Amino acid sequence: MKKLFDILKDIEVLKSEGDKNRPLNHIQYDSRKVVPGDLFIALEGVQTDGHQYIEKAIEKGAKTIIVEKWQENLPADITQIKVPNTHAALAIMASNYYNRPSAKLKLIGITGTNGKTTTASLSYQLFKKAGYKAGLLSTVKILVDDQTYPATHTTPDPLMINYYLNKMVKAGVTHAFMEVSSHGIDQHRILGLDFDGAVFTNLTHDHLDYHKTFIQYRDTKKQFFDQLKKEAFALVNTDDKNGLFMLQNTAARKLTYALKNPADYKAKILEQNFSGMLLSINNMDVWVRLVGLFNAYNILAVFAIADQLGIEAFESLQIISQLESVDGRFELILSPEGKIAIVDYAHTPDALENVLKTINRIRPKNQEKLITVVGAGGNRDKTKRPEMAAVAAKLSDSVIFTSDNPRNENPETIIDDMEKGVPAEYYRKTLRITDRQQAIKAAGSLANPGDIILVAGKGHEDYQIVNGIKSHFDDREEIKKVFGLTETKISPKKPN
């Protein structure tokens, strides 16, 4: 059992009262989970303030309280600690509680608007295939070597992060790969973690409901690189105009990757079809089972990460040729009569444009149609809704606007917002079918053999949130129902 003094290491204490050598059971920020002997930390959030639940936490047996706002007249046996920021304190305390597990791993963080999940997941795959015990913290799932756990956030809360990193250490994991979101950076969830490398993929329009301006969003991402130790590496995509900005002021070793601009790691797409593409990476050719310019960047980043962590280039490329696509990322489904469906997580204007351009680049362009089913999430950045609709209408032959995760918003209002972005010249090729299941069915009915259906926005997600209620819904399952299939992926084939 830890003592309070142990987990306060490296935390600025503004004021304290009570016994700092008090033993504690666990750290809690949800008063409902408190059991006798726990420490309760009061987090001030957007919707609720944890300071309001201190009395309840004490009633349930909390003996130590961490606050930003000093509390008068607490019971005499309560230890109270005041800190400048309880979110920051929680992150450091969580690391201390679990004996700083990140320092015992080679921990690589991947940040950016798009590509985080694929880059982290492929890196995990590569190191597993290279014979290492590896770990993954991603939007899709958490992996402790071969053990899978469900993921709830792109970057979990500090207690969960350190809990799973500690499990990795206990399981003998040596290398861990983690998505780092802008929310996670801004809310101090990654504070106290010992990163050995950081990767910047790109920066496009997203999360402006939270960050308010693009500059604020960009600067939040940069904080991740500003906090790196000098022994770490900072790898950035210099084809993105924000790439070199991320390297300013970082103490880490600076590295670059690109397809268009000069860089330490270079790649070029030589050819591609729906089954994969032939890449040249640092003048070495490799056939991969993923497609698209966006995946060329992801694979190049994975190669660079492996190189920086000591895997020889030839071995790395051999393994890269075997890597499988990530669930819900350009996932192909083929009907018996030759209709093609692609399920992709694209939920930003840039990501949607990348996927549609990739499809249009690969498709035979005979008489086949490209039908896109797309929506936008509720209670999130509203400004990207018309942009996504405009991209879909421009680059598709037909578009069905539908519900995504409306959460607590009216789905009809969300679609109204989307339709405002459709130029008049494209309006005739759009439909609106609010029910997502019916929208996918309609796309299947409209498609003929050879046609392509893109179902965008949810990817790997197997749920839908309507009126705040979470229900099971999986785009891939719905496509399989429409196609009468049990298998989702077509087998990748190399070109002749």
H/E stretch holding 400: strand 398-401
Closest-CA residue to 50 (of 73, 24, 68, 64): 68
Instruction: Give the burial class of 103: count Cβ atoms within 10 A of its Cβ; 0-12 exposed, 13-18 middle, 19 or more buried.
Output: middle
pLDDT digits (tens, 9 = 90+) for 374-390: 999 998 889 999 999 99
Instruction: For residue 271, list its beta bridge partners.
Output: 278
Whose structure tokens read 């899978």? 148
Which structure tokens are listed for 177? Answer: 């790969």
Across residues 460-482, what is the average pLDDT? 93
Instruction: Give the burial class of 1: count Cβ atoms within 10 A of its Cβ; 0-12 exposed, 13-18 middle, 19 or more buried.
Output: exposed
Q: What is the pLDDT of residue 210?
A: 56
Closest-CA residue to 116 (of 186, 201, 176, 219): 201
Average pLDDT, the chain: 93
Distance, in Å, from the CA atom of 246 to the CA atom of 226, rounded to the nearest integer, reads 8
| pLDDT category of residue 204 using cuts at 50, 70 and 90 | confident
Domains located in the chain, CATH noted:
2-96 (3.40.1390.10), 100-320 (3.40.1190.10), 331-483 (3.90.190.20)
pLDDT over 90 for what percent of the chain?
A: 86
Given a cut of 80, is residue 401 above it in pLDDT?
yes
Under DSSP, is residue 88 helix (H, G, I), strand (E, B) or coil?
helix
Q: What is the pLDDT of residue 488?
A: 42
Given a cut of 70, is residue 493 above it in pLDDT?
no
Across residues 274-287, what is the average pLDDT? 96
DSSP string, 37-58: T-EEE--B-SS-BGGGGHHHHH
| pLDDT category of residue 151 using cuts at 50, 70 and 90 | confident
Q: pTM of the predicted model, to two decimals?
A: 0.87
Distance, in Å, from the CA atom of 319 to the CA atom of 170, rounded to the nearest integer, reads 27
Given a cut of 70, is residue 207 above it in pLDDT?
no
Under DSSP, is residue 360 helix (H, G, I), strand (E, B) or coil?
helix
- 225 in Cβ contact with 252 (< 8 Å): yes
| pLDDT category of residue 491 using cuts at 50, 70 and 90 | very low
Q: What is the pLDDT of residue 45?
A: 81
Given a cut of 80, is residue 211 above it in pLDDT?
no
Q: What is the pLDDT of residue 213?
A: 84
Which structure tokens are listed for 397? Answer: 């032959």
Q: What is the DSSP letter of 183?
A: H
DSSP string, 288-356: ES--SHHHHHHHHHHHHHHHHTT--HHHHHHHHTTPPPPTTSSEEEE-TTS-EEEEE---SHHHHHHHH
Which structure tokens are listed for 389? Answer: 């609709």
Across residues 137-151, what is the average pLDDT? 94
β-strands 276-281, 265-273 pairing: antiparallel
Under DSSP, is residue 269 helix (H, G, I), strand (E, B) or coil?
strand
